[in-house]
Homo-oligomer: A and B are copies of this chain.
Amino acid sequence: MVTKSPYTLLARSSECKARRGEVATAHGVFQTPVFMPVGTQATVKAVTVENLKDIGAGIILGNTYHLFVRPGHRLIKEFGGLHNFMNWDGSILTDSGGFQIFSLKELAKISEDGAAFRSHLDGSRLFLRPEDAIEVQQALGSDIMMCLDTCIPYPTTREETVKSTALTGRWAQRCRSVHTVRDQLLFGIVQGGMYPELRKESAETMVDIGFDGYAIGGLSVGESKEQMHDMTEATIPHLPDDYAVYLMGVGTPEDLVEGVWRGVDMFDCVMPTRNARNGTLFTSTGKLVIKNARYREDKKPVDSNCSCYTCRNYSRAYLRHLFVSREILAYHLNTIHNLHYYVSLMSSIREAIENDRYSSFRNDFYGRLESK
């Protein structure tokens, strides 16, 4: 199955590999570079789909593993797919379930055929083959599906990394073979651990198979920032320039700025939503821990430069009160703010690339952080 790339390049930085583009899916076109809020269990935690639209999110991520164990992909298919089930009409990317299965650690066992694991909910024995991962994602009806890959912990020996990366390649081929639903895109995942030459090899394997987009997996797993940047740089040159590049599970605002600099188009991370629920808020001048006593009587919004619903209407003192009182509204308002921060950051990044001033944008970004 050979398809036209869903990615369209719109502008390119003359200073670095940053690029401005868009990706067309069955549920519209989203602008890149993009950050995808994570909606693990058929909801982005603590917000509504209207909140996500207000914030400007064009695509969200769903977790195949979680939806597979509860409520089950067959049930979601009965409801016309994940979009209908959760009432989201923007684009959805689903991961393959691989990362979560590997996170179960002793509960998972990998063989050539697939991954044997136990449900984190009831301990029941489950088995996921690459073909199953595609079947499940086709049932979910996501716009972008991911191949089942093996996740390589950090650190791992070169020998183990070679083996595991090769298996990811064979699984990717099997995923590609059973991909039948044409309006669902399928992305391949490059592994290769912390070995540049294995990253290159893995990228070439994926390109040989041929996908609708390419992801860089196995990063943000404990390695240094430098290693993460090096592996990104070791991978992207071996991917076709006319396809989207997705850096999985990354990251901090700084990671996004650096990823874009190196040519990444798509990101996802639980950080903005999880931090929101822990009371850590992102601002243009750095992080703010809302429970701190210094905010007790603070009439200012979280970030005076922010135009989100939370900052337009609520003081730090009120948000602190809600958070220390463990009110559900705290998680809701904090999440709106943090997602708005991430989505707006990407919007500013896109504008900077369009105007070919990404280098100065990046300098200003770090300058503001240091001004705190």
Contacts and interface: CB of A to CB of B under 8 A. Distances in A.
Q: Identify whether the interface residues of A are mostly helix, strand, loop, or mixed.
A: loop
Given A75-B317, A313-B87, A331 B329 contact: no
Stoichiometry, copies per complex: 2
A43 B317 CA distance: 14
Contacts of A85: 315, 317-318
B327 A41 contact: yes
Given A43-B322, A75-B297, A328-B328, 9 more contacts: A41-B322, A42-B321, A45-B327, A46-B329, A48-B329, A70-B321, A75-B296, A79-B317, A328-B331
Contacts of A325: 41, 70
Interface residues of A, number: 32
10 contacts: A41-B322, A41-B325, A45-B328, A46-B332, A70-B321, A71-B317, A75-B296, A85-B318, A87-B314, A328-B331
Contacts of A297: 75, 78
Interface in A174-196: none
A109 interface: no
A9 to B, nearest CB: 36
A315 B71 CA distance: 13
Interface of A: 41-43, 45-48, 70-71, 75, 78-79, 85-87, 296-297, 299, 313-315, 317-318, 321-322, 324-325, 327-329, 331-332
Contacts of A322: 41-43
Contacts of A321: 41-42, 70-71
A46 B86 contact: no
A46 B327 CA distance: 7
Contacts of A314: 87
Contacts of A296: 71, 75
Nearest to A42: B321
Contacts of A87: 313-314, 318
A82 B325 CA distance: 16
Contacts of A299: 79
